[in-house]
Amino acid sequence: MSTVITHIDQLDMNKTYSYADYFSWKFIERLELIKGKIFTMSPAPSRIHQKVSMNLTLLFGTFFKSHPCNLYIAPFDVRFPKKEISDNKIYDVVQPDLCVICDNSKLDDRGCIGSPDLIVEILSPGNSKKELHDKYELYRDNGVKEYWIIHPSEQTVLIYKLVENEYVPSRLYNGEETIGSSLFPDLDIDLKEVFADKI
């Protein structure tokens, strides 16, 4: 009989885990798997992170409300299978801050299985390396067509577009600009609204 995992301290951080393991754990801490390795997430994102996330969600939500593609926000599991889609053969599970999925066949009750079309990650002090390196490679190698990285404290946005299986970066946008998406030509995001804060 297998042991029920109720606390993250019961896990061996050097071990390789699958989505089947991940789905069986019974604790509240949020984490992600990349190549089967555990990446812990911040217990609670900063207030600025949350504000940027909410502002962007409202802007995206207005656009995608009348669009056939679907918008989802964290916590929302995105699984990247290799050859097999069985839970014990999936070793990459992440929770992007926002993601847009246009192929409804990728959606099930547990989230998304396969690559979203667009992913947005909002950086926090503790996750910058993960977003800038590990997730960059994961998203590129799995065919995520567009990947936005938002830096709340610096009020900047960098957009990677997938071209012939490689990411091509945009220039660095500042908080005074309006940006768009190559995937959704009618989507215009005013960064002054994204970074707006009443305090």
Q: Which long-range contacts (CB under 8 A, 24 or more apart) does 35-41 make?
A: 35/91, 35/92, 36/91, 36/92, 37/13, 38/11, 38/13, 39/130, 39/134, 40/8, 41/95, 41/127
- Domain 40-194 classified CATH 3.40.50.300? no
Residue with more model confidence, 130 or 103: 103
Average pLDDT over residues 158-179: 97
- Radius of gyration in angstroms for the set of CA atoms belonging to the chain, rounded to a whole number: 17
Per the confidence metrics, is the pTM higher than 0.85? yes
pLDDT, tens digit, 9 for 90 and up, residues 63-93: 999 999 999 999 999 999 998 999 999 999 9
Average pLDDT over residues 111-123: 97
Mean of all residue pLDDT scores within the chain: 93
Domains of the chain, by residue range, sit at: 40-194
Find out whether 85 and 113 touch, Cβ atoms under 8 Å: yes
Residue with more model confidence, 123 or 41: 123
CA distance 2 to 111: 26
Per-state percent for the chain, helix, strand, coil, to nearest 5:
25, 30, 45
| Band of pLDDT at residue 2, cut at 50, 70 and 90 | low
CA distance 82 to 156: 33
Can you give the length of the chain in residues? 199
Q: What percent of the chain is modeled with pLDDT above 70?
A: 95
The pLDDT assigned to 185 comes to: 95
